[in-house]
Amino acid sequence: MAKTLNQERKKMKPLVMIVFGVIVPIIVIITIVSIILNILDIDAVGWAKEKGNNIPIISNFITTEEEMDFQRMEEHYQQTIQAKDEKIEMLELDIENLKAQIDDLERELLKAENSDASLQLEEEEEAADPIKDTAKAFQNMDEEQAAKILENMSREEAVNLLNQLSAKVRGGILQEMNPQTAAEITRLLLN
């Protein structure tokens, strides 16, 4: 066991000697030199970057001011492009929404035109058929008064008017008429 400890110490001595004999002194020297150069206001870091940029392998690890400016500009342009892309997407969504609104308004306009045309057609039909208009007037009239008016009309006109009325109103008017006239009109209604 004592032998293995001695062997381990012997193996550790060269490693310790390299660390304390070479690496630590180099770090101390670099630190002292950089402090002195900073006090003298000499840009040692810039000088080291400049010289290191001329060495082929080391130049890959050193970033110069120009490269940093280029990276900043590239990031700025990427952000600008991304913002523009987002704005384009929003505008495309607005266009789709507006197209949908246009379609809805066109459908409403078509419905309004169709309903307007149907109302116009109904008005024309009503204006074209005076019998229906007159029948509506008789519908709301007093039955006795309506009976007197129909007795004084031609039988054909009376039958046409009574055909437009409901059975209840027609019955009430016929009831108020002279029985002979009511019989004639009823016969014509049956034919």
Please report the pLDDT score of residue 64 as a whole number: 67
Answer yes or no: are the C-beta atoms of 139 and 166 closer than 8 Å: yes
Q: Residue 91: its pLDDT value, please?
A: 93
Q: Are residues 20 and 48 in the same domain?
A: yes
Q: Is residue 67 part of a domain?
A: no
159/136 Cα distance (integer angstroms): 15
pLDDT for the residue 37: 78
* Res 7: pLDDT: 63
How many domains is the chain built from? 3
Digitized pLDDT (tens) for each residue of the chain, 191 residues in all:
556 656 665 666 777 777 777 888 889 998 898 888 778 887 777 777 777 777 777 666 666 677 778 888 999 999 999 999 999 999 999 999 999 999 999 999 888 888 877 777 776 665 556 777 777 777 788 888 888 887 888 888 888 888 888 888 888 888 888 888 888 888 887 87
- Give a yes or no: residue 58 inside a domain: yes
> Which pLDDT score is estimated for 79?
94
Number of other residues whose CB lies within 10 A of the CB of residue 122:
10
End of a domain among 128, 143, 159?
128
Q: Is residue 97 part of a domain?
A: yes
| Domain hosting residue 84, numbered range | 76-128
Domain boundary residue among 128, 144, 161?
128
pLDDT of residue 12: 63
Q: How far apart are the first and last CA of the chain?
A: 139
Please indicate, yes or no, if residue 3 is contained in any of the structural domains.
no
- C-alpha to C-alpha distance for 31 and 13, rounded to whole angstroms: 26
53 with 87, same domain?
Answer: no
| C-alpha to C-alpha distance for 32 and 109, rounded to whole angstroms | 87
- Answer for the pair 27, 42: CB distance below 8 angstroms, yes or no: no
Claim to verify: residue 183 and residue 146 sit in the same structural domain:
yes
